[in-house]
Structure 1
Amino acid sequence: MTLSRRLLPLTLLLCATTVFADVWRPARQSTAEDEGRELYYAKRTAVRRSDGEALTAHLAFFTSPSYRLKVLDLGAGKEPKSASLSEALRAQGCVAGVNGGFFHPDWQPLGMVVSDEGRINAFARAKLLSGVVHSDARGTHIMRRGQFRDHSDITALLQTGPYLVEAGRSVRGLSTAKPSRRTFVATDWRGHWALGATPNSVTLAELAEALASDGALTGWPVNRAINLDGGSSTGFFFDGDSGQPPVLLKPWKPVRNLLGIAKR
């Protein structure tokens, strides 16, 4: 076999990887000044190369050595403990946050939840709840349901899903139908994290591809990302920049819990 024939499969693989990584591109490049901060807000838009379709997201960026995730349980019933998402987050010392995990029509959370108020529910095996996002003394984590090992020093946890990005690639088999507003958590697995919410409707597959496309929504390559409750539950709040007005995307209905960002 000639050298050129031996190199052909490698060349095709590299081309395929490049195409995969560039399914979406950033509408505007992030700045190095932003990327060096421990906490900041950005509204980013990614554009799909094939048809120009745009995907916009509100993003609260933070570093895990300086900040941690905190679950706020708002209680069961249509009358939440706080009048608004922003009020609830501020009352618990959170500088930013989004709506949290899924819940039943009777307001009981779907899957395990750990908050300052304690633990709710046992670990669920529902297909939708494929992963866990949690904080403990060692940091903040996203992991597959089968990899998770419960322990006593967990301070915040939501069982949720589906997984959107794993090992830098969008997860196969995600729905390409039923576009909706989305809420998510993403990380480069090197201390950089983002809570995000889309004000416009997108499919799970589109969101996963945009997050996995290098630099399309974040200034760092996304290694893992997971979906939270979305649709009418989608909400976002950020008030971490001194002197800057708060950013608020209101959910269309009350939710059972929130996922906030608090100082360590």
Structure 2
Amino acid sequence: MSASISPVARFIRLSVLTLWLAFWIGQDYARADWRPVTGEPWPALEAPISHSERTLESSTGRTVRAHLALFDSRRYRLAVLDLGPDLASASDWPEHTRAAGLLAAVNGGFFHADGQPLGLVIAGGERLNRFETVKLLSGVLYGDARGIHLERRARFQSSPGIDALVQSGPYLVEQGRAVRGLSTHDVSRRTFIATDWRRHWVLGATRDGLTLAELAEALATPGALAPWPVERALNLDGGTSTGFLFDPGAGQEPIHLRARRPVRNLVGVRAR
């Protein structure tokens, strides 16, 4: 028969285990540090809409390149462009975005193999699918006449004035801090939207793979993926769906990061 463990010994063992876990968690967060390595200055904060390409390096040696469309929500409205369930015909982004008057766009929400969207989508005021409460869809991005909004699913309140909306997730940054508990394993290209929760927003897509936890840390790092402090950020459908388009106008060719597969919808901006 084994000897029983005294309460004091049990307390000491639990304390040692707690310190050990805290140490390794701290090590994980230390490895998530990011620094920008591109020398180009950020576009002026007063610029209504602009493109920037950034390169970041982590303290573990990972390099990530990202395309960013920075814009002012006082000048531009959120738009969701539904490309329809026939995914085979939804691959020519420049044609679709120009026809819809979008100046910048990224791939939008998640979708099933048959092309049906996962979660609620509102495109051009038309409601597609239904509001869902699966764990993945922790955030709601939407636009109305008042502006652009990014909320936790539990705080979202539907209204008839919403003309653009996607459910997506997970939440990456909240109140200026990287969300805890995000995946540290799956390395994929990523698509995201972030804001300082004043008037500055960024639509972004990475050309290289990183984990969700790494993306959250990069977004929460001052000056890494935005010239202003990110207050909140949401992950959009990434992986092979990751794509980006920015139309500089004046007869110039669009800056286009092609998705590796067709997507169901795009999230973009158009002039007010």
TM-score range, shorter chain: 0.7 to 0.9
Specify the code of the residue in structure 1 equivalent to 2:33: V
Aligned pair partner of 2:266 in 254, 258, 263: 258
Q: CA deviation at 1:51?
A: 2.7
Q: How does 1:122-201 map to 2 (within 5 A)?
A: 122-201=130-209
Answering whether residue 38 of structure 2 is matched by residue 28 of structure 1, we say yes
Answering whether residue 78 of structure 2 is matched by residue 66 of structure 1, we say no
Following the alignment from structure 2 to structure 1, what is the Cα–Cα distance between the partners of residues 205 and 38?
Answer: 18
| Identical-residue share of aligned pairs (%) | 53
Q: Which residue of structure 1 aligns with residue 85 of structure 2?
A: 76
Q: CA deviation at 1:162?
A: 0.3
CA RMSD in angstroms, aligned pairs only? 1.9
**Which of structures 1 and 2 has the bigger CA Rg?**
2
- Residues 195, 232 of structure 2: 8 Å contact kept: yes
Q: Which residue of structure 1 aligns with residue 227 of structure 2?
A: 219
Q: What residue ranges of structure 1 are gaps of 5+ in the alignment?
A: 1-15
Q: CA deviation at 1:236?
A: 0.4
Q: How many residues align?
A: 244
Following the alignment from structure 1 to structure 2, what is the Cα–Cα distance between the partners of residues 247 and 137?
Answer: 28
Specify the code of the residue in structure 2 equivalent to 1:198: T
| Structure 1 residue matching 2:141: 3-state secondary structure | strand
| Structure 1 residue matching 2:210: 3-state secondary structure | coil
- Residues 85, 235 of structure 1: 8 Å contact kept: no
Q: TM-score, normalised by structure 1?
A: 0.87
Q: Which residue of structure 2 aligns with residue 3 of structure 1?
A: none
Aligned pair partner of 2:99 in 91, 104, 107: 91
Q: CA deviation at 1:243?
A: 6.0
Residues 195-223 of structure 1 deviation map (CA, whole Å, 9 limit, x = unaligned)? 00001111101111000011111100100
Q: CA deviation at 1:238?
A: 0.4
Q: Which residue of structure 2 aligns with residue 40 of structure 1?
A: 50
Q: CA deviation at 1:77?
A: 2.0
Give the 4+ runs in structure 1 shifted more than 4 A: none
Q: Which residue of structure 2 aligns with residue 9 of structure 1?
A: none
- Residues 174, 233 of structure 2: 8 Å contact kept: yes
| Structure 2 residue matching 1:226: 3-state secondary structure | strand
Q: TM-score, normalised by structure 2?
A: 0.85
Q: What residue ranges of structure 2 are gaps of 5+ in the alignment?
A: 1-25
